[in-house]
Amino acid sequence: MITDLFTIENKKIKPTLHCYLIPEFKQILDKYEARGVDMLTYAFYYACPFKSINPYADFNDDEREERLKKSFVIFPDNPDVLLAIETMKSLYDTTSMKYFNMNRKNLHDIMDYLETSVISDGKEGNLQERLRIAEKCAKIKAEFDDLEKNVEAERGKMKARGQRQIGLGEL
C-alpha cells in the first residue's frame, strides 16, 4: 500500500484519513491524543525504507532507533508503537522490498565487520581476508545501489496511479 499518512496544515503535521482507518494507527491517535502524531511519525521513520521520503532510511535498525529516540523522545518498546511499526512494515512488504532489506542488512553487517575487526598480519592473520572482503564490498555496494533504484522505481510506479503528486509521509 502506498498512500499519504500525514499532511501539513498551518505548519503542523496532521494525520490523514488513513491514520484513522487503519486500526493500529487509530488506536495510537485515540489513546495518546497529543503524542499520537509523534508516535506515528516515529513508527513511519522507523519502518519506511525509501530514502526519497525518509532521511533515516540509510541507518541500520539500531542506529535508526537511537537517532529516532533522541529526536522524538518515544519509547520504542511501547507495544502500541511496536504494533504500528509492524503494520507499516507489512504495508511495504513486496518481494523486491524483502530482497532489498535482506541485502541492506548484509551490507551493513559486512561494513560493521570491516569497521570493528582488528587487522592482524602473518600466518594466522586476517589481513588477506579483509582485503578480499573490501574488494568484493565495492561490487556488492554497486549492485545494492542498482537494487535500491529498482525499489524506488517500484514505489514510483505504485504512486503513479491517478496521476497525483507524491505527498509527504507516504507509505
DSSP 73-106: ---TT-HHHHHHHHHHHHHT--HHHHHHHHHHHH
The x, y and z cell numbers of residue 117, run together, are 575487526
Which parts of the chain register pLDDT below 50? 1, 160-166, 168-171
Residue 171 confidence (pLDDT): 46
Question: How much is the pLDDT for 84?
Answer: 95
Residue 113, C-beta contacts closer than 8 angstroms, at least 6 positions apart: 133
Q: Within 10 A of 100 (CB to CB), how many other CB atoms are there?
A: 20
Count how many Cα atoms sit within 13 Å of the Cα of residue 127 in the half-sphere of its side chain: 6
Q: What is the pLDDT, as a whole number, of residue 160?
A: 41
At residue 3, the pLDDT reads 63
User: What is the reported pLDDT for 164?
Assistant: 46
Residues 60-73: tens digit of each pLDDT:
888 998 999 888 87
pLDDT at 80: 95
Q: What is the pLDDT of residue 16?
A: 93
